[in-house]
A and B are shown apart, each in its own frame.
Chain A
Amino acid sequence: MNDERVSKSRKAKGFILRSLVYFSAAVICLLLAGIIFYILKRGLPHISWDFLSGKPSLLDGTVGILPNLLNTLYIIIMTLIVVLPLGVGAAVYLNEYAKNKKVVRIIELAAETLSGIPSIIYGLVGMLIFVQFCSLGTSLLAGALTLVIMTLPTIIRTTQESLKTVPESYREGSLGLGAGKWYMIRTAVLPSAIDGIVTGCILSVGRIVGESAALLFTAGMASEILTPAQAVSEGGAGSTLTVSMYMYAKERGDFDTAFAIAAILLILTLVINISAKLAARLLKKGKGK
């Protein structure tokens, strides 16, 4: 760098560009740190056991997010139950069954298209298809089914990537011992692709937890505690954490509650990120690579 042969103007240009690079990295880190710090500072003081385990009531003047926590959990479970077989099945088809390159390309293109569609459009289409056309009404079920379409590409992609790394010798060995194709997939291929499936699940959970626009018109805005049986029934409407946070901030102007929920969402995001990383590392190790 301190070479005499490099002219001063070149040095100056290099210095400016390098400073810009450092500057932008610093800006991004400071931004994130600022956002995290601010949300935790404003949100954490309002989080208490009563807050986590209560429900909002105007009569008692209490604020609680238990219904929203439960709704988020219900939606995550319902979505994963439906999307996992579909997504893993699609990935298996793409990697093990499909022979026609064009067919594979079309399906991959469709999955890419799905992942590019904004969530507000999913919200509308979910409303049209599940709420109105399938007459499920505004319900957690309709919301979960909408999220199935939304998270499908993630599951397909991660599973497919993982299936690609399963050694060909596993398949040959299994087939050579006389296994049928389905038996081979079930016993040799899928267990070795478990890391991709788990990563896909965790990423989908992250997406579901953070989703709001797609749920606004499909899952509703109510904040009543639902039993699991109510949650899967037609009329079981309710808001998840993000939707209720939006309602608190925008409709009611209750920013203390909104920040408390934001802090919880932030912590959840952090946990999901870390567990995605850990899962990928641990399960890859288990693969013996």
Chain B
Amino acid sequence: MQSKTISTVHIRQKPARTNSFADFFEKFAHIVFSVCGFIAVGFVVVITVFLVVSGVPAIREIGFAEFLFGTKWMPTGDFPEFGTMPFILTSFYGTFGAILIGVPLGILCAVFLTKTAGKRISGVVSSAVNLMAGIPSVVYGLVGMIVIVPAVREIFGLPDGANLFSAILVLAVMILPSVISVSETALKAVPKEYEEASLALGATSTETVFKVTIPAAKSGILAAVVLGVGRAIGEAMAVMMVSGNVANMPKIFGSVRFLTTAVASEMSYSSGLHNKALFSIALVLFIFIMAINLILNLVVKRGKK
């Protein structure tokens, strides 16, 4: 409040001292900063418009039901079919599998970082997690391709190890850093009094963590899960290198193609309706991501209340 009074005083004095050039400059700066401020909004609008404009025509041409629920993707045949159900289901199963493995591991690791480990060890582990977040996705893909794919082939006695299962393993590792850091923040935000009360009532420290702290942090942890879903569904390069990249209906040990990898792998050689259909796939992916963002916002908002 104090600053306001001072600035009004300053404005009252201003005409006496400053020339119109300085005034103009102040206004100019204000306008420039406002433009910068709204540019993020502009980007979101432009991205949405471009995706809708380039994605809708193919869906219209193919037919909405055929496009979403068709189970065959044969874009280059004599009688091309553009069913994206295989991609949608693969992305769904892949994300679900990655969450199933990655989230419990991530939450337990967050518990370790916030409640169990000493300061020094938790420092080391959290820089390890940070490093993990920074490793490029193609590097994960390469390691998956050279280590996980042959290992899956050997262990399960398959002809080819590049399948949904390998992709799930790679995705699970890739979502760990974001799951860990968000749940860590959530666990840290639980008031100390809750834990103290639980301990005073005779619960052991482990019981306190699992029966008091984690339930109290559940909206933050839910946010971590939703963020993990977003990461997993949007990942393209690493998944492309380990999933086999064939447009089958998803099977755990079958070669599959995700929404992201369909776009990434066919963009370079597609043409005509095929090309337009890829933009429609991107639009479907975009809609999923927007829905996830919306859920994330609702979860975070509810957590704040």
Q: Which residues of A contact B206 (CB under 8 A)?
A: 13-14, 17-18
Is A246's CB within 8 Å of the partner chain B? yes
Whether B47 pairs with A125 at a CB distance below 8 angstroms is yes
Contact among B46, B143, B210 with A38 in the assembled complex (CB-CB below 8 Å): B143
Is B302's CB within 8 Å of the partner chain A? no
Whether B112 pairs with A216 at a CB distance below 8 angstroms is no
- Quick one: which of A102-156 are within 8 Å of B by CB? 103, 106-107, 109-114, 116-121, 123-125, 127-129, 133, 149, 152-153, 156
Q: Which residues of B contact A217 (CB under 8 A)?
A: 267-268
Binds B, one of A53-61, A73-81, A203-211, A228-236: A203-211
CA distance A125 to B30 in the complex (A): 30
Q: How large is the interface on A (under 10, 10 to 19, 20 to 34, 35 or more residues)?
A: 35 or more
Is A252's CB within 8 Å of the partner chain B? no
Whether B43 pairs with A114 at a CB distance below 8 angstroms is yes
Whether A124 pairs with B204 at a CB distance below 8 angstroms is no
Q: Which residues of A contact B173 (CB under 8 A)?
A: 31
Q: Mark B239-253, 1 if CB is under 8 A from A, else 0.
A: 011000000000000
Whether A89 pairs with B33 at a CB distance below 8 angstroms is yes
Is B29's CB within 8 Å of the partner chain A? yes
CA distance A81 to B206 in the complex (A): 50
Whether A90 pairs with B289 at a CB distance below 8 angstroms is no
Whether B112 pairs with A210 at a CB distance below 8 angstroms is no
**Chain A: which residue is nearest B261 at the CB level?**
A120
CA distance A220 to B10 in the complex (A): 54
Binds B, one of A44-52, A62-70, A172-180, A191-199: A172-180
Whether B3 pairs with A168 at a CB distance below 8 angstroms is yes
Q: Which residues of B contact A282 (CB under 8 A)?
A: none
With A28-B128, A107-B37, A246-B138 already in contact, the answer to whether A118 and B235 are too (CB < 8 A) is: yes
The secondary structure that dominates the B interface is: helix
Chain B contact residue count (CB 8 A cutoff): 94
User: Inter-chain contact count A-B, CB under 8 Å?
Assistant: 261
- Quick one: which of B115-132 are within 8 Å of A by CB? 116-117, 125, 127-132
Whether A180 pairs with B40 at a CB distance below 8 angstroms is no
CA distance A38 to B142 in the complex (A): 11
Nearest-Cβ distance from residue A3 to partner chain B, whole angstroms: 8
Q: Mark A13-39, 1 if CB is under 8 A from B, else 0.
A: 110011011111101110110010011
Interface residues in chain B, defined as those with a beta carbon under 8 Å from any beta carbon in chain A: 2-3, 6-7, 10, 13-14, 17-18, 22, 25-26, 29-30, 32-41, 43-44, 46-47, 50-51, 54, 104-106, 108-109, 111-113, 116-117, 125, 127-132, 134-143, 145-147, 173, 176, 180, 202, 204-207, 209-210, 230, 233-237, 240-241, 260, 263-264, 267-268, 279, 282, 285-286, 289-290, 292-293, 296-297
Interface residues in chain A, defined as those with a beta carbon under 8 Å from any beta carbon in chain B: 1, 5-6, 10, 13-14, 17-18, 20-25, 27-29, 31-32, 35, 38-39, 42, 85-90, 92-94, 96-98, 103, 106-107, 109-114, 116-121, 123-125, 127-129, 133, 149, 152-153, 156, 168, 171-172, 175-176, 178, 180-182, 185, 206, 209-213, 216-217, 242-243, 245-246, 249-250, 255, 258-259, 262, 265-266, 269-270, 272-273, 277
Show 15 A/B contacts (Cβ-Cβ < 8 Å), sorted by A.
A22-B116, A25-B112, A90-B39, A93-B37, A97-B34, A112-B297, A118-B289, A121-B282, A124-B267, A175-B10, A178-B13, A217-B267, A246-B241, A250-B241, A269-B135
